[in-house]
């Protein structure tokens, strides 16, 4: 147990413009379960991808049983007994369980798949996991939890000594999660080591022998079994007291603009959400990836089906059918993935800026070219879009300028309620600042802003009020004065706010 | 921008083929041959314009040839068997064509079926219906209906020119092309069609009722196929239920692609499609005039289209590279 099986030292990885990992160390003993935790973007996934041979590191070394190893490919890693179970399931659901477990490594006889051996071998691995899944069942007939088990069986079938699980419970029910704990305990007893990545601190406490915390791509600290508490984990994840970067004079919000009552999304049908945004108010939605924030915005806007609940803008009920209704009532949504959901990349800046607007002010169905051109010139100037001309296809603009085009598309309609989903994702610092100023200006002009952000500084700096989501529900609300990175993380990871918070 | 260049490219190709054929065969510029070429271009151009709307929306319509056949059969059957009046028959065929397009559009948008599958089933279904309706025997107009027939085989004389007159269907094509081109280039509907052909999700997130736009494209396509069927039937003076219109969908799609439409959606112009149709018709004409073995007809048309799309792709990459270099 004390002897280290895996010894990672000084791992460093850069992506263009981002330092994903810097000098990260990690120790793992045989038969040990180590949880790796950290905020969104702390470097957990990059670390795991390097260990599993998905990406090469820029610097650093990895030793297995004191031997220097290099995992250039996934197959190399598998040969050494390191297997990664991705967050998203990677199964061919038109094939049987056994066929999936041995995909690409089918036992053969005379060049033909030896189905009998494949079935018995698969049954053996599945037995080890104490599941009732039969090797011949089609994967498409399994529940998500059972599919997760098949993934684990697949990893074990290559004689994995080290299993890396990336958010394994993100789609499991409570019961399935508990089953997974038992499987992990069994694996540990049989000498398999597990690296467990999770956002859910309750789970980490249940399964981990040790916790390693990453922050901004660096080691932030580690906790031994007896020290693992919610508070300590959050403190290490957060690390610093983030004071509000932006000094916003507190505003006096006006009358309520957006009213959401009893809203149920299809992603979290068992939860229901109520919220309110007033005129001139900036409300932030915090939470971890997968907490249901995007689904909430999309359902309010009407692009995702609403299961139940009402949405009102200034007292008028908005029908749930189609975004056309929400737009007519003064709403706008800036989605998280602008290339997929907001821009027609091959079209000109001008056409994109007018995509939502041309239906108003047309003449007998004809596009009003004069007003179209005026709008695009105005918006390019107002938002400082850097483009050689308004005829330039948006695909050739930088991320920040593309986002400004998305904003401009909506601002040309003077929306009363602006929904923004990760509005500054993947854009440069300068454009970020401009977007913050713009959002504040809109609020001063009386719009209601509801924005989702995974960036703490943005959330704390911009919002008058923060709603924190966890598992599809609003776990708590924080006023600007009481919101800290720690209090947000507590709510986001499913824990109550500690009462000892010193003010 | 690039649409204009594409159209210029295909117009250049048409000019080269015409010049080459004219140089090698004086029959090419005889009044009769020009009339014929224009007439065939018009007949095929009309159905090609229809399918280009569907292709710009990112879809496909394989049923056009069968709709041509069905509409021709129904016209002959209504006028001769049922002795219906000409206006009533035209209204019936219009309604039938609209219903066909509406069914395609609804199945594709509301039920979520693939355009390829829906219209492939249509191809089989309408051909079968046409054959059943006519007992698989040829139907025709005999020597009557000369007034109606002149829409397809008539011509309009040009003052002071005796050797050449403009075929009536060509006038019809010009009118339709102007209307379809105007809608595509200058109306909100056209803008929506291009936008959703490129990125349906972004269009929907911008509040566009994408389903309605797509359904209308299929209705327009079937309507023009129905009209095409009427014209072809009148021109041939008789309709073979099992073969009239067979493979016409492929000619129409080929003309649209040659004229600058991309099957990825969101690209194309009506002028390009009309010129694309002309290229195909002139190629067929040239094969005939230059005594190239007619067995090679398909091979030559296929080769020309392939060369066209390869050129288009090469140019597209060059432009992308240049644009990327001036990225801000």
The pLDDT assigned to B249 comes to: 95
Query: CB distance B186–A367 less than 8 Å?
Result: yes
Q: Cβ contact (<8 Å) for A344 and B266?
A: yes
Q: What is the pLDDT of residues A166-175, one digit of tens each?
A: 888 776 777 7
Average pLDDT rounded to a whole number, residues A236-262: 73
Q: What is the structure's pLDDT at A143?
A: 82
Evaluate if residue A497 carries a pLDDT over 60. no
Region of residue B313 (phi > 0: left; psi between -120 and 50: alpha; otherwise: beta): alpha
| Residue A240 burial (C-beta neighbours within 10 Å; 0-12, 13-18, 19+) | exposed
pLDDT at A502 exceeding the cut of 60? no
Contact call for residues A217 and A25 (beta carbons, < 8 A): no
Residues 6+ apart with CB under 8 A from B213: B57, B189, B192, B193, B196
Q: Is A160 left (phi over 0), alpha (psi -120 to 50) or beta?
A: beta
User: Do residue B188 and residue A358 have CB atoms under 8 angstroms apart?
Assistant: yes
Residue of A nearest to B322 (CA): A396
Res B22: pLDDT: 94
Q: Which residues of chain B have pLDDT under 50?
A: 1, 328
Interface of B with A in 267-306 (CB under 8 A): 267
pLDDT tens sequence across A444-464: 999 999 999 988 888 988 999
Q: Which of A341, A358, A391 sits opposite B205 (nearest CB)?
A: A341
- In sequence order, the 6+-apart residues with CB closer than 8 A to the CB of B8 are none
**Coil/strand/helix, residue A162:** strand
**Residue A180: per-residue pLDDT:** 86
A449 to chain B nearest CA, in Å? 18
B59 by Cβ neighbours in 10 Å (0-12 / 13-18 / 19+) ranks as buried
Q: How far is B208 from chain A (nearest CA, A)?
A: 7
Min distance A271 CA to chain B CA atoms (Å):
25
Indicate the residue of A324, A341, A366 with minimum beta-carbon distance to B207. Answer: A324
Q: B203 touching A, CB under 8 A?
A: yes
pLDDT > 60? residue A245: no
Q: Which residues on adjacent β-strands are paired with residue A287?
A: A469
Q: Place A405 in a pLDDT band, splitting at 50, 70 and 90.
A: very high
Q: Out of A181-190, A325-334, A426-435, which region has the weakest mean confidence (pLDDT)?
A: A426-435
The yes-or-no verdict on residue A360 having pLDDT over 90 is no
More confident position, A426 or B119: B119
Confidence of residue A244 (pLDDT cuts 50, 70, 90): very low
Q: Note the pLDDT of residue A464.
A: 92
From A322, A367, A396, residue closest to B327, measured CB to CB: A396
| Strand intervals (E) in B131-225 | 139-140, 155-157, 165-167
CB–CB of A366 and B327 under 8 A? no
Residue B326's pLDDT is what? 56
Q: What value does the mean pLDDT take over residues A60-73?
A: 86
Residues in chain B: 328
- Does pLDDT of A239 surpass 80? no
**Chain B residue at shortest CA distance from A327:** B207
Nearest to B188 among A342, A344, A359 (CB): A359
Res A449: pLDDT? 96
Region for B317 from its dihedrals, namely left if φ exceeds 0, alpha if ψ lies in -120 to 50, beta otherwise: alpha
Query: What would the pLDDT profile of A3-12 be if each residue is shown by its tens digit?
Result: 688 999 999 9
Find chain B residues with C-beta within 8 A of A361's C-beta. none
Residues from A in contact with B at Cβ < 8 Å: 303, 322-324, 326-328, 333, 335, 340-347, 351, 355-356, 358-359, 362, 365-367, 386-388, 391, 393, 396-398, 401, 409
Give the pLDDT band of residue A248 (cuts 50, 70, 90). low
Determine contact: B206 vs chain A, CB below 8 A. Answer: yes
Q: In this predicted structure, what is the pLDDT of residue B287?
A: 93
The answer to whether residue B191 neighbours chain A at the CB level (below 8 Å) is: yes
**Which residues fall within 8 angstroms of residue A62, CB to CB, at 6 or more apart?**
A6, A7, A8, A9, A11, A50, A51, A68, A69, A70, A71
Across the beta sheet with A473-479, what order do the strands follow?
A: A331-334, A417-421, A448-452, A282-287, A465-470, A473-479
Kindly list the structural domains of chain B, giving each domain's residue range(s) and its CATH number in brackets, ordered by start. Answer: 2-325 (1.10.3470)
Q: What separation in angstroms does the CA of A23 have from each of A4, A17, A60, A63?
A: 19, 17, 7, 15
Q: Which domains does chain A have, with CATH numbers?
A: 4-238 (3.40.50.300), 247-330+416-495 (3.40.50.300), 341-414 (no CATH)
Confidence of residue A75 (pLDDT cuts 50, 70, 90): confident
Higher per-residue pLDDT: A216 or A33: A33
Pick from A332, A344, A388, A421 the residue to mutate for testing the B interface (most B CBs within 10 Å): A344
Give residue A250's pLDDT: 60
């Amino acid at each position: 147990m004390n002897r280290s099986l895996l010894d990672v030292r000084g791992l460093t990885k850069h992506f263009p413009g981002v330092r994903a990992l810097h000098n990260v160390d990690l120790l793992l003993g045989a038969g040990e379960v180590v949880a790796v935790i950290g905020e969104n973007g702390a470097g957990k996934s990059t670390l795991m991808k390097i260990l599993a041979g998905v990406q090469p590191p820029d610097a650093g070394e990895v030793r297995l049983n004191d031997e220097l190893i290099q995992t250039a490919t996934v197959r190399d890693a598998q040969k050494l007994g390191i297997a990664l179970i991705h967050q998203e399931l990677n199964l061919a659901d038109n094939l049987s369980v056994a066929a999936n477990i041995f995909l690409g490594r089918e036992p053969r006889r005379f060049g033909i798949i030896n189905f009998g051996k494949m079935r018995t071998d698969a049954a053996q691995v599945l037995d080890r996991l104490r599941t009732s899944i039969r090797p011949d069942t089609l994967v498409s007939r399994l529940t998500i939890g059972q599919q997760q088990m098949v993934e684990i069986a697949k990893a074990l079938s290559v004689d994995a000594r080290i299993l890396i699980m990336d958010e394994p419970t993100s789609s499991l029910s409570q019961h399935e999660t508990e089953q997974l704990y038992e499987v992990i305990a069994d694996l540990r007893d049989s000498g398999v080591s597990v690296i467990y990545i999770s956002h859910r601190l309750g789970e980490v406490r249940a399964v981990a022998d040790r916790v390693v915390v990453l922050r901004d791509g660096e080691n932030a600290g580690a906790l031994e079994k007896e020290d693992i508490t919610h508070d300590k984990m959050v403190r290490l994840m957060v690390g610093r007291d983030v004071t509000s970067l932006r000094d916003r004079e507190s505003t006096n919000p006006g009358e309520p603009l957006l009213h959401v009552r009893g809203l149920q999304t299809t992603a979290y049908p068992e939860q229901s959400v109520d919220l309110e945004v007033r005129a001139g108010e900036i409300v932030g939605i915090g939470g971890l990836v997968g907490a249901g924030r995007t689904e909430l915005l999309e359902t309010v806007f009407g692009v995702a089906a609403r299961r139940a609940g009402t949405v009102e803008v200034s007292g008028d009920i908005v029908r749930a059918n189609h975004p056309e209704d929400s737009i007519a009532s003064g709403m706008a949504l800036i989605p998280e993935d602008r290339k997929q959901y907001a821009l027609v990349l091959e079209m000109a800046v001008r056409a994109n800026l007018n995509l939502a607007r041309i239906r108003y002010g047309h003449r007998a169905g004809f596009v009003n070219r004069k007003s179209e051109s005026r709008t695009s010139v105005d918006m390019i100037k107002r938002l400082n879009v850097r483009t050689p001309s308004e005829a330039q296809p948006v695909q050739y603009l930088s991320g920040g300028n593309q986002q400004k085009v998305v904003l401009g598309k909506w601002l040309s309609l003077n929306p009363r309620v602006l929904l923004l989903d990760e509005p500054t994702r993947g854009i440069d610092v300068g454009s970020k600042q401009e977007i913050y100023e713009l959002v504040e200006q809109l609020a001063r002009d009386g719009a209601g802003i509801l924005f989702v952000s995974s960036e703490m500084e943005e959330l704390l700096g911009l919002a008058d009020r923060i709603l924190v989501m966890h598992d599809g529900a609003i776990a708590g609300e924080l006023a600007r004065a009481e919101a800290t990175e720690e209090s947000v993380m507590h709510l986001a990871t499913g824990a109550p706010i500690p009462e000892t918070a010193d003010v | 921008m690039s649409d204009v260049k594409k159209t210029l490219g295909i117009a250049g190709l048409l000019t080269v083929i015409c010049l080459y054929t004219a140089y090698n065969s004086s029959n090419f510029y005889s009044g009769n041959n020009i009339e014929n070429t224009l007439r065939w271009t018009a007949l095929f151009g009309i159905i090609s314009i229809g399918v280009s709307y569907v292709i710009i929306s990112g879809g496909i319509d394989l049923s056009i040839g069968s709709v041509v056949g069905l509409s021709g059969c129904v016209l002959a059957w209504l006028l001769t068997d049922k002795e219906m009046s000409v206006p009533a028959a035209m209204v019936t065929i219009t309604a039938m064509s609209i219903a066909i397009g509406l069914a395609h559009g609804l199945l594709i948008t509301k039920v979520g079926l693939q355009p390829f599958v829906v219209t492939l089933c249509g191809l089989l279904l309408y051909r079968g219906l046409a054959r059943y309706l006519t007992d698989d025997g040829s139907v025709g107009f005999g020597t009557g209906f000369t007034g109606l027939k002149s829409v397809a085989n008539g011509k309009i004389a040009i003052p002071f020119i005796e050797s050449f007159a403009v075929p009536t269907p060509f006038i019809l094509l010009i009118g339709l092309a102007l209307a379809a081109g105007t809608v595509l280039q200058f109306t909100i509907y056209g803008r929506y069609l291009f936008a959703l052909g490129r990125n349906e999700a972004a269009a929907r997130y911008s509040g566009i009722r994408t389903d309605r736009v797509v359904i209308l494209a299929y209705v327009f396509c079937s309507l023009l196929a129905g009209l095409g069927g009427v014209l072809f039937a009148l021109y041939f003076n008789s309709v073979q239920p099992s073969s009239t219109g067979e493979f016409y969908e492929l000619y129409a799609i080929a003309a649209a692609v040659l004229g600058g439409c991309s099957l990825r959606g969101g690209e194309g112009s009506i002028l390009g499609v009309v010129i694309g149709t002309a290229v195909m018709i002139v190629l067929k004409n040239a094969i005939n005039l230059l005594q190239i073995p007619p067995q090679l007809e398909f091979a030559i048309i296929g080769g020309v289209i392939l060369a066209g799309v390869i050129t288009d792709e090469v140019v597209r990459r060059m432009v992308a590279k240049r644009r990327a270099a001036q990225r801000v």
